[in-house]
Amino acid sequence: MQQELHTTPPKSPPVATRKFRILIVDDDEDSVDLLAKWLTMSGYDVRSAGSGQEALQRISQDRPDLVLLDLLIPPPDGLTVIRTVKKDRLMSTIPLVVMTVKRDVKSKVECLRSGADDFIVKPFHFDELDAVLRASLKKRYLYTSLERANQQLRDANEKLLKLTVTDERTSLLNDRYLRRRATEEFKRAQRYGTPLSLIILDLDHFKQVNDKYGHDCGDQVLRDFGRLLMANARTTDIVGRFGGEEFLAVLPNTDGIRAAIVAERIRRATEEHIYKYREFLMRVTVSAGVASYPANQGVASEGDLLKAADDALYRAKQVSRNRVILDRASMPADILEGDLSAIFKASYEDAQPLKDEPEI
């Protein structure tokens, strides 16, 4: 569509404070050339498209800061381009300024209802176009700045949330979050009558690691064990550091026997793992106490369940360490004394020390 301009471009137009990218969509080459020269002199980065199809491709690929759009263009027409852009979540915030010879109110209303951000009638003055562009670009800049600030806020909140639930040494869940989840899962188990088990794990003789090799080595062992724990737990288990060298696993919908099997898998993997710190190689074993609800009928709260698991851990430490003990009240009566080592055949007494590695 031939475009008429009431004035010639000013010799020294105001330079844009930021090099915005503008896409001109018009099939009249002379009009496009004239507009492109003036916008370029004004400090804009100018691109052009001669049809609706080319316009949609360029908008999708180049993400211009603003589109100057003639309605009467090769298909799809201008209105279709507007509706298509505004329906796309990634492109919908790009301002669309309509250029048209149509002066009637109905055409303007139709454009604005379709999603156009502004409307300018041909022929127009460059000063008029400049004012429209600056107003639309200001809105675009404010919107993108707000979106950027919102994204930074979301990222900061996500990091803050991660910090509030994460143990700084192991990057596992921390004790506060574990206690909260244990409470939530216990209430769910009570309501729906499903089993819930807890495993408390404690690294054996961990103090000797710190005393002999230093706290940096101890921290390395905690991190390595945390990774090993995650690798051997199930995806549905809630696992984290419970404090010091203790770790907790919350196992929803899991009875005591199945929980003890998970604990034994972790115990065995720990026993077989070689911890490396600088030039040192070492083995560290783990003991575990397991308790389950509702098998243990004396459990009335998550605190009771934690205590039952802790008591089982204490028994494991007393017996010999490096073993799994299932709370007596949480196990079938035919499992003697709650010691599952006879079933798993994985007593620490069967383990052979590695050659050429220091013992702790």
Reduced to 3 states (helix: H, G, I; strand: E, B; else coil), residue 77 is coil
What was the pLDDT predicted at 165? 81
Specify whether domain 21-149 bears CATH 1.10.3720.10.
no
d(C-alpha 115, C-alpha 308), whole Å: 64
d(C-alpha 325, C-alpha 168), whole Å: 29
Cβ atoms of residues 21 and 65 within 8 Å: yes
What is the dotted CATH code of the domain comprising 175-350? 3.30.70.270
d(C-alpha 280, C-alpha 271), whole Å: 17
**Active-site pick, 4, 128, 147, 245:** 245
Instruction: Point out which residues pair with 115 in neighbouring strands.
Output: none
Listing from the earlier edge strand, what are the strands of the sheet with 324-326? Answer: 238-243, 246-252, 196-203, 286-293, 324-326
What was the pLDDT predicted at 53? 94
**Nearest residue to 74 (alpha-carbon basis) of 27, 23, 28, 24:** 27
- Start-end of CATH 3.40.50.2300 domains in the chain: 21-149
d(C-alpha 311, C-alpha 300), whole Å: 16
Cβ atoms of residues 306 and 250 within 8 Å: no
Low-confidence ranges of the chain (pLDDT < 50): 1-7, 10-17, 336, 342, 345-360
d(C-alpha 281, C-alpha 209), whole Å: 11
Residues 6+ positions from 329 with CB-CB distance below 8 Å: 291, 295, 296, 297, 298, 299, 308
**β-pairing verdict for 246-252 and 45-49:** unpaired
Q: What is the pLDDT of residues 98-112, one digit of tens each?
A: 988 888 888 888 888
- Start-end of CATH 3.30.70.270 domains in the chain: 175-350
d(C-alpha 170, C-alpha 222), whole Å: 6
What was the pLDDT predicted at 105? 84
d(C-alpha 32, C-alpha 24), whole Å: 7
Q: Any catalytic annotation for residue 357?
A: no
What was the pLDDT predicted at 313? 95
What was the pLDDT predicted at 166? 86
The pTM is what?
Answer: 0.56
